[in-house]
Structure 1
Amino acid sequence: MGKVIPGRMAAEIEGPFVVFIIGVRINKWLAVRQWLPVLQAMGPMLKELYANKELGFLDAMYFMSGRGVSIVQYWRSYDQLEQYARGGANHLKAWKDFNRKARAGEAVGIYHETYLVESGACESIYVNMPAMGLGLAGSLHPVGAGRETSRERAGLGSAAGGRTEAGRAAEE
């Protein structure tokens, strides 16, 4: 994580983009030899992506749960994500290894979800946070007049009847 940026910031990203969520779930804790290699495979893939931004990868964030790890990735396009999935050297090796090991038992599970954001419309707010997520994939800008509410930041205009300052704060 980077340095905390004081105040209220909102992220912007131009054009369509893709949000890709991938995760690993440990189903059998004692089967370390089956799930540890799956977890370890993510590091080299992300290192490859960060080193080769021309592949369309924008940024990623990790989230840990009681049974595994999830990673939220931001991509410029679905085609670029798919091309990496089918042709990235580190990904192909990890994918083949996982499929081979997954047939050996149920010790580890994996999932992914892909969201295509065609319009490029998005909304975010970060208060006293370092740049992260969409703020790293796109750019951060201070929240000010015309960008106070979620609706305004998403480019949907202001709500009918307006909002009070307390209403805006509650919406965040």
Structure 2
Amino acid sequence: MFAKPVRGYTTAAADGDVVVLLIGMRINHFRAVHQWLPVMLSMIRMLRELARDQDRGLLGHVLLTASPRTYYVVQYWASKEKLYAYATSPDMFHHRALTAVNRKQRQGGARGHVGLWHETYIAPEGSRESVYFDMPPFGLAKAHGQVPVERRGRSARDRFAHRSQPAPEPGKTV
């Protein structure tokens, strides 16, 4: 059930752009269970739907809580195009859930019982680094694979400098 830790220092094996989506909810009124519980269950349902179809592009996720009121998911995607395709696909559950939220909002039925939010980031090579010590694959390393830190550099500066393709020489075009 529990993943075994990988001994020593490792880093994520991600090459190219990394797409990260933070998406979550905040319970504004605990007593309004009929408002926030369906939102929470919808988040879980979408993750299950994505897990059944790996081609949709979700590489991995981590469920987190920021407070007793705020819950969110860190998602790692294969590309922003796959994320957009899932978010806008009429045959996926996200479309139905978003339609219901928008309808409720237009009808004035939401009443502020639950807050929703998301943030999307695209981190190109040279704009991110990661390190794990005696950890099982986690987060970015679980989504993209885990390699010994020496393959990307012992220092954060070296890991930031890592490129999957050599940079072109100055003055030369690719």
The TM-score with structure 2 as length reference comes to 0.82
State how far apart, in whole Å, the 2-side matches of 1:15 and 1:144 are.
19
TM superposition shift of 1:98: 2.4
Corresponding residue of 1:147:
153
Q: Determine if the alignment matches structure 1 residue 123 to structure 2 residue 126.
A: no
Corresponding residue of 2:101:
98
TM superposition shift of 1:48: 1.3
State how far apart, in whole Å, the 1-side matches of 2:138 and 2:130 are.
11
C-alpha spacing 1:145/1:114, structure 2 compared with 1 (3 Å): closer
Percent identical across equivalent pairs? 38
State how far apart, in whole Å, the 2-side matches of 1:79 and 1:152 are.
29
State how far apart, in whole Å, the 2-side matches of 1:95 and 1:112 are.
13
Question: Partner letter of residue 158 of structure 2?
Answer: E
Report which stretch shifted further, 22-31 or 46-55. 46-55
2:11, 2:152 within 8 Å by CA — same for their partners in 1?
Answer: no
Q: What are the equivalent positions in structure 2 for 1:5-154 lying under 5 Å apart?
A: 5-64=6-65, 65-87=67-89, 89-102=92-105, 103-104=108-109, 105-119=111-125, 121-144=127-150, 147-154=153-160
Question: Partner letter of residue 13 of structure 2?
Answer: E
Q: CA RMSD in A?
A: 2.0
List 4+ stretches of structure 1 deviating above 6 A: none
C-alpha spacing 1:8/1:107, structure 2 compared with 1 (3 Å): same
Corresponding residue of 2:172:
none
TM superposition shift of 1:3: 2.1
Report which stretch shifted further, 140-149 or 73-82. 140-149
Residues matched between the structures, number? 157
Q: Which runs of 5+ in 2 are unaligned?
A: 164-174
C-alpha spacing 1:37/1:120, structure 2 compared with 1 (3 Å): farther
State how far apart, in whole Å, the 1-side matches of 2:157 and 2:118 are.
28
State how far apart, in whole Å, the 2-side matches of 1:77 and 1:3 are.
29
Report which stretch shifted further, 143-152 or 2-11. 143-152
1:50-76 deviation per Cα after TM superposition (whole angstroms, max 9, x unaligned): 221111211111111221211111112
TM superposition shift of 1:121: 4.6
Corresponding residue of 1:169:
none
C-alpha spacing 1:31/1:146, structure 2 compared with 1 (3 Å): closer
Q: Which runs of 5+ in 1 are unaligned?
A: 158-172
State how far apart, in whole Å, the 1-side matches of 2:97 and 2:151 are.
47
